[in-house]
Copies of this chain bind each other. A is one copy, B any other.
Amino acid sequence: MKPKEQIVDLADQYIRAKGYNAFSFYDIAKEVGIKTSSIHYHFPSKTDLGVAVIEKELAFITAMIQKNADCSPLEKLNIFFSIYHKIKEANQVCLVGSLATDFMTLDESIQNALKKFSLTILNWVTGFLEEGKRENVFNFSCQPRIKALLIIGNMLSIVQLSRLIDDADFNSVKKAIQKDLLNQ
């Protein structure tokens, strides 16, 4: 992997493991095997690096949405779950949750990138919930957008809470969401 990609990848890991304000250029430099000044060559400021992380994740999620556009709503739900499963396995939190708590300390360019990223996820989930309801696979009574916020919020929060409480609760929450959606 090219150094530039590796830097973004490690920054991503650190943001979701320790938070944006808790990792340093030195943390990354150490792991890549270069000096901090070399990171500044690729990303003049920490803000530039932060924006690059979000844009990388946005590209990833956009490609995944596109690739699985023809899947069933239930399959899409499980793809959605699998994202958080990986995060939880690594004892991390999701990018949105991590950066939302640091939001007031972030430069506007990161704030805007994050808003765009979260909107992409929200629209995706809203879409396959609507789809599932139309096909009588999913059942829920509130607006699809609100149901999407509830479900996204459940996953966003359970990866955070998994650090504080019983590890097994993650799967129980996942199953409860699924059962609730499929119940007629």
| Residues in A lying within 8 Å of B, measured CB to CB | 17-19, 21-22, 91, 93, 96-98, 100-105, 114-115, 118-119, 122, 141-143, 145-147, 149-150, 152-154, 156-158, 160-161, 163-165, 169, 172-173, 176-177, 179-180, 183
CA distance A93 to B100 in the complex (A): 9
B17 adjacent to A165 (CB under 8 Å):
no
Given A114-B164, A146-B169, A176-B142, decide whether A102 and B22 contact each other with a Cβ distance below 8 A: yes
Give chain B residues whose Cβ lies under 8 Å from the Cβ of A100. Answer: 93, 160-161, 163-164
Give chain B residues whose Cβ lies under 8 Å from the Cβ of A160. Answer: 96-97, 100-101, 156
A177's nearest neighbour on chain B, judged by CB, is B150
Interface of A is mostly: helix
Give chain B residues whose Cβ lies under 8 Å from the Cβ of A101. Answer: 19, 93, 97-98, 101-102, 160
Give chain B residues whose Cβ lies under 8 Å from the Cβ of A21. Answer: 19, 21-22
A-B residue pairs, 6 tightest by C-beta: A153-B157, A100-B160, A142-B176, A21-B21, A22-B105, A157-B157
Give chain B residues whose Cβ lies under 8 Å from the Cβ of A158. Answer: 149, 153
The winner among A102, A149, A156 for most chain B CB atoms within 10 A is: A149
CA distance A110 to B41 in the complex (A): 37
Shortest beta-carbon distance from A149 to chain B in Å: 6
19 A–B pairs (Cβ distance < 8 Å), ordered by A: A17-B104, A18-B102, A19-B21, A22-B105, A91-B104, A97-B97, A98-B101, A118-B161, A119-B165, A141-B183, A145-B169, A146-B169, A146-B176, A150-B154, A150-B176, A153-B161, A153-B173, A154-B154, A156-B160
CA distance A157 to B152 in the complex (A): 8
